Amino acid sequence: MSLLARLEQSAPIPLAADIACERGELLALVGPSGSGKSTILRCLAGLHRPAGGYVRCGDATWFDAARGIDVTPQGRRVGFVFQHYALFPHLTALANVTLALQHLAPGERSAKAREWLARANLEGLEARRPAELSGGQQQRVAIARALARDPQVLLLDEPFSAVDQVTRRKLLRQLIHLRRSLPIPIVLVTHDLEEASLLADRMTVLHHGRTLQTAAPDEMLARPASALVARLTDQPNLFAGKVLEQSPETATTVIDWLGQPLLAPYHAGFAVGDTVSWMVPEAAVVLVREHQSDRENTVAACVSERLAWRGHATVSARVAGRRDATLSFAIGASVAQRRGIIPGASILLQLQKSAVRLLPAEEASRAPASGRGDVSP
Amino acid sequence: MDWQALSLSLQLAAATVLLLLPLGICLARLLAWSRFRGQGALEAAILLPLVLPPTVLGYYLLLGFGNASSLGQIYHALTGRALVFTFDGLLAASLIFNLPFAVQPMQRAFAAIPREVREAAWVSGLSRWQTFLRVELPLAWPGIAAALALTFAHTLGEFGVVLMVGGSLPGETRTIAIAIYDQAQAFNDSAAAAMSALLLALSFIAVALVSRLGRSLGRR
C-alpha cells in the first residue's frame, strides 16, 4: 500500500506538489515556514481540498479533482498527529484513544485503547486529562490515538515542535523504534533538518508549495538538485564561480573561485565562461597539514568561529585575503583542541574534488561569490 | 402575588429556552466557524435587540405580526389564531428579542473550540454528528447553559416588547413584569414588592450561574 499524490492550487497557498511514499517508508516534508508543508498534509487527510490533482492510497482513490472524487476525512483511514496534538481536552487519555476506535465493536474499544496506551508507555495515566499530562505524554497520547484508528497512512505535523529538547530526543528514539513495526506510509512534516535526517528514509524539499527534490537525506545533502535546494537544506558552503576549463579526458571541470582554480568532477552541462553555483558538503572540507599544501583544491583560511557541542565542533574559517568568503566544516571537538583550532588560527583546508558539486547559477542577487545568503521564507 | 402571571412568565421563558436551544446552537456554530457573504449584516441583526429601545422593537413586531401583515395572515390561515395579543405572538417576539442573549455566549463557546480539535475528531473517524455530540457539545456546554440562563432571566423580566405585542390580557399575555407594573399603578405595594423580590432573586441566580459557567469555560 503506497501513497501517491499530486496537489495543485493557486490560493490560498500555491501548491504544485508531488508526493510519493511507499509502505513502511518515512517521508519527511521539509521547507521553511509558509512553504505549504502542513497544507499538503491536510490535503492528504481530506481536511483541505486542493483545486486540482489526486490522492491515491494503494488501490483506493481518496481525491481526484478531474473525476470529482473527494473522500471525507472519516472515510480515509488516516492517522493524524497534529502540531499541538489537538487532544480532546474534556476526555481522559483513555477516552481520547477510545474515540478513535469507532471501527471496533463498542465492547472491544476500551481494552484495545488500553493496549495502545501501553504500547505508548502510558500505563497508569489512562484516567488523566490532557491538561494533567506533560508535553511528551500528550504527544504519545496523540500518536496512540492516531494509530488506534488502524490507519492506512500516518501523517505527523511537526510532532516535536511543542516539547523541550530533552523530551524531544526521547520521543525521537521512541518514534524511530515504533515506525519499524508500522507497515504503512508515514509522512512527517518538519522544518528541522536534523529531525528529518534522523527519521526519514527520503525527504522532499518544498519551496512556495512546489516540491523541488526528493531524495534520501544523505543524498540530498551531498547532491542537491539546485542551489535553492542547497540553500533550503542549510548547506553552508554554497558559492558562485566561473567555468575556466572543461576536460573530459581527466574527468575534470575547473572553475575560477575568488581568483584561484578549483577542480570539480566533470560536468558537461556547462560551457567555458559560464557562471555557476557550486557547493561542497561540510564533511568534504578537510583540515590538512602545512606540508600537504600542494594537494588539489587546498586553500589557506583563518578560523573565525568554533562552536562545540557534544564532542563535535563546527568551525567557520575565512578564506585568506577574503573577508567575505567563509568555509564551514565539522571535526571532533578534541581534534579541534589538539590542533589549536581557535579563532584567529591559520589553517589549510582541502575541498575534496569528488564532493564538489556544480549547479546552475542562481540569479545574481541571490548567489554571492562569498558564501551563503539568507533564505527568504 | 399574581400566580397566573408568574405561571405564564415561566411557561413563556421555558418555551423560549427550548426553542432557542437548537436555533441558537445552529446560528452560533454558523457564525463561529463559517465565513459567508452577509455575515456582518446577520450578526448586526442578531445584536439589534440589545441596543434598540424595547418599545421600538415592540412597535415593529406589532406591525409585522398584525392581522393586516402577511405574516399575521399566514399564521392565521395555518392555525386559526392571531399573532398579536396572544401567547403565540408573545413567544415569537420573545424568540426575537432573546436572540443576542442566546447566540452570543454560544458563539463565543463554539469559537473557543480549536479547529484542529474538531478535525482530530473527523480523522479519528467520528461523523459530523458524532463530533457534535461527543466533542463540540461537551466543550461548549458552559456557554450554552449560560446562554439559556440569560435567556430565561431576560424573558421573565422583559416589559416593553411584551406590552407592545401582547398587551396585558390575564392568562394570555400578562406576564409577571406586566403584573408588577399593574400592581404598582394600582398602589398595591405589597404585591408589587413580593413579585419584584421574586424576579430579583431569579435574575440574581441566573446571573450567578452564568458567571460560574463562564469561569468553568475559561479554565479549559
Per residue in B150-205, pLDDT (tens digit) is 999 999 888 889 888 888 888 888 898 999 999 999 999 998 999 999 989 988 98
CB contact under 8 A, A72 and B120: no
Residue of B nearest to A130 (CA): B220
Which domain, by its residues, includes A314? 281-351
| Cβ distance of A89 and B127 shorter than 8 Å | no
State pTM to two decimals. 0.86
Residue A332 lies in a domain: yes
B 118-157 near A (Cβ less than 8 A): 119-127, 130, 134-135, 138-139
Does position B216 have pLDDT exceeding 80, yes or no? no
Whether residues A198 and A314 share a domain: the answer is no
Q: What is the pLDDT of residues A79-100, one digit of tens each?
A: 999 999 999 999 999 999 999 9
Task: Please give the share of chain B, as a percent, with pLDDT higher than 90.
Answer: 63
Please state, in angstroms and as integers, the Cα–Cα distance from residue A285 to each residue in A194, A281, A329, B105, following that order.
20, 7, 6, 64
Same domain, yes or no: A208 and A83 = yes
Q: Is there a single domain that holds both residue A180 and residue A263?
A: no
pLDDT in tens, B101-139: 999 999 999 999 999 999 999 999 999 999 999 999 999
Judged by CB atoms closer than 8 Å, whether chains meet at A100 and B125 is answered as yes
Long-range CB contact pairs, A293-299, < 8 A, 24+:
A293/A348, A295/A350, A296/A263, A296/A350, A296/A353, A297/A262, A297/A263, A297/A350, A297/A351, A297/A352, A297/A353, A297/A356, A298/A348, A298/A349, A298/A350, A298/A351, A299/A260, A299/A327, A299/A348, A299/A349, A299/A350, A299/A351
Classify the phi-psi angles of A85: left when phi > 0, otherwise alpha if psi is within -120 to 50, otherwise beta.
left
Q: Do A45 and B124 touch (CB under 8 A)?
A: no
* pLDDT of A60 higher than 70: yes
Check whether A373 has a pLDDT greater than 50: no
Q: CB distance from A377 to chain B under 8 Å?
A: no
In the predicted model, what is the mean pLDDT of chain A? 91
In chain A, the number of structural domains is 3
Q: Are residues A332 and A303 in the same domain?
A: yes
Task: Classify residue A136 as left (phi > 0), alpha (psi -120 to 50) or beta.
Answer: alpha
Share of chain A above pLDDT 90, in %: 76
In a domain, A376, yes or no: no
Q: Are residues A89 and A187 in the same domain?
A: yes
pLDDT band at B215; cut points 50, 70, 90? confident
Report chain B residues whose CB lies below 8 A from the CB of A100: 124-125
Q: Is A80 on the interface with B (CB under 8 A)?
A: yes
Domains observed in chain B: 3-54+86-219 (1.10.3720.10)
**Is A12 within 8 Å of chain B by CB?**
no
SS3 state at A252 = strand
B169-204 burial, b for 16+ CB within 10 Å, e for fewer?
Answer: eeebbbbbbbbbbbbeeeeeeebbeebeebbeebbe
Record: contact A102-B116, CB cut-off 8 A: no
Report yes or no: A73 at the B interface, CB cutoff 8 Å. yes
Residue B213 is predicted with a pLDDT of 78
- By CA distance, what is B220's nearest residue in A? A89
A45 touches chain B (CB under 8 A): yes
Closest CA in chain A for residue B141 = A90
Query: How far apart are the CA of B145 and the nearest CA of chain A, in angstroms?
Result: 17
CA distance A89 to chain B (A): 7
Complex-level ipTM? 0.85
